[in-house]
Amino acid sequence: MNKEINFVLNGEKVNLEVAPGEILLEVLREKLGVKSPKCGCNKGDCGTCTVILNGKTVRSCLVLAIEVDNQEVVTLEGLMQSGLTPLQESFLKNNSFQCGFCAPGIILSATELLGKNSKPEKREIQEAIAGNLCRCSGYSPIIDAIIDITN
């Protein structure tokens, strides 16, 4: 039943065997040691498992690992290969996160937004991160940081 898959993960070719029932989030964390995507609700509501698949954010808890065969996956580790991104610096400056559990997902969602729209309005930012739940911050410092970087 196992099948060999090949995909590009954070710029590097990856090759491994998976069973069709294996979930991308679990394969990333347990088999490939990529720990930034987290398991929160495990059903697509909370956004902590967000990864970028072929340029778009997806819920890795709702993707089979076998589906990413021949595709390209980017996690937060891939974005910060040469250090903190300006967006991350802005989050730091604004004290945007407390526990940080939601941070990788929010950073990826914000990255997708800013890639499409370099000057989003506050409402657009709120909409872009509406699927990323944060239980510490009340969201304001997160939104402030994203607005900051667009100025």
Partner 1 sequence: MAENQFGYAKPKALNEALDIISKSVNPFILAGGTDLIDMIKEGVVQPDMVVDLKGIKKFKQITFKHDTLFIGAGVTFSELIESEIIKKQFPVIADLSRTVASLGIRNRATMIGNICSAVPCMDSGPLLAAYEAEVITAGPKGERKIPTEKWFIASRKTAIKKGEIVTGVSISSPGKHGSCFVKLGRYEGEDLAQVNLIILALKDGTFRVSFGSVAPVPIRAKKIEHLINGHPITPSLVEKACKLIEEEIKPITDIRATKEYRMHMAKIMFERGLNAAISRLNGGGPEYGKNLI
Residues near partner 1 (CB under 8 A):
1, 3, 19-23, 26, 42-45, 47, 50, 53, 56-59, 61-64, 66-67, 69, 109, 112, 126-128, 130-132
Query: Look-up: residue for tokens 């595709």?
Result: 71
CB of 23 to partner 1, least distance (A): 7
**CB nearer partner 1, residue 88 or residue 111:** 111
**CB nearer partner 1, residue 20 or residue 84:** 20
The Cα–Cα gap between 63 and 68 comes to 8
CB of 83 to partner 1, least distance (A): 26
Query: Both ends of the chain: CA-CA distance in Å?
Result: 52
Q: Say if CB 23 and CB 10 are below 8 A apart.
A: no
**CB nearer partner 1, residue 85 or residue 126:** 126
User: Token digits for 9?
Assistant: 């993960």
User: Token digits for 94?
Assistant: 């604004």
Taking phi over 0 as left and psi of -120 to 50 as alpha, with beta for the rest, 34 belongs to beta
**CB nearer partner 1, residue 23 or residue 76:** 23
